[in-house]
Homo-oligomer: A and B are copies of this chain.
Amino acid sequence: MGLISSVFIATSLDGFIARTDGSLDWLDKANANVPAGEDCGYHVFMESIDVLVMGRNTYEKVRSFGGWPYGSKPVVVLSSNTIKIPEDLSQTVSCSSESPKALCECLTQEGAKRLYVDGGITIQRFLAENLINDFTITVIPVILGNGISLFGKLEADISLRHITTKAYDWGFVQSTYEVVRT
């Protein structure tokens, strides 16, 4: 349907995006070694997307940092329950209980070209519905042993096309893959 859905995320070497309690201390610790002004392609990626879609957990995690990092970029929070969006975000943040497929159709009609799909459960839901087009995964040089996984169970294998890999001097390894449609 012309809409591109993309994932841009950091994981531990063992594939976790957060500790079991949602904590990102390991990522913060790793980021302390990153040179000032370096964002591993995040800004360029953000410029390419029209809408962010995330789950309630990710929304609440981002809110807990204080401030709001997405500026005027439209954000859809997926949740089966209604979320009270604060007044100051109400122009850009909306809540939806639609399925990934229904949401994609709706956003396509509204003119969106590229979505940023974020958060473990949301990514897994989109992937299960065959709605993710590409992944950019930045592997942090740490093994956590426990946590919230980027990937979950699937009905069938998903074949990927490797696009590019970049190893940064501070040990992050960022790879981009496209999903091969079957």
Residue numbers of A with Cβ under 8 A of B are 13-15, 26, 127, 135, 137, 139, 141-146, 149-162, 164-165, 167, 171-173, 175, 177
Contacts and interface: CB of A to CB of B under 8 A. Distances in A.
Given A14-B150, A161-B171, 8 more contacts: A26-B157, A141-B161, A141-B162, A141-B177, A143-B157, A145-B157, A145-B158, A146-B154
B167 A162 contact: yes
Contact of A15 (B15, B164, B165): B15
A141 B153 CA distance: 17
Contacts of A161: 141, 171
Given A14-B15, A150-B14, A173-B165, A160 B145 contact: no
Contacts of A167: 162, 164-165, 175
Given A160-B143, A167-B162, A13 B153 contact: no
A120 to B, nearest CB: 12
A144 B15 CA distance: 13
Contacts of A127: 143
Given A146-B154, A157-B26, A164-B167, A139 B175 contact: yes
Given A15-B14, A15-B15, A160-B13, A154 B143 contact: yes
Contacts of A156: 145
Given A14-B151, A164-B167, A167-B165, A158 B173 contact: no
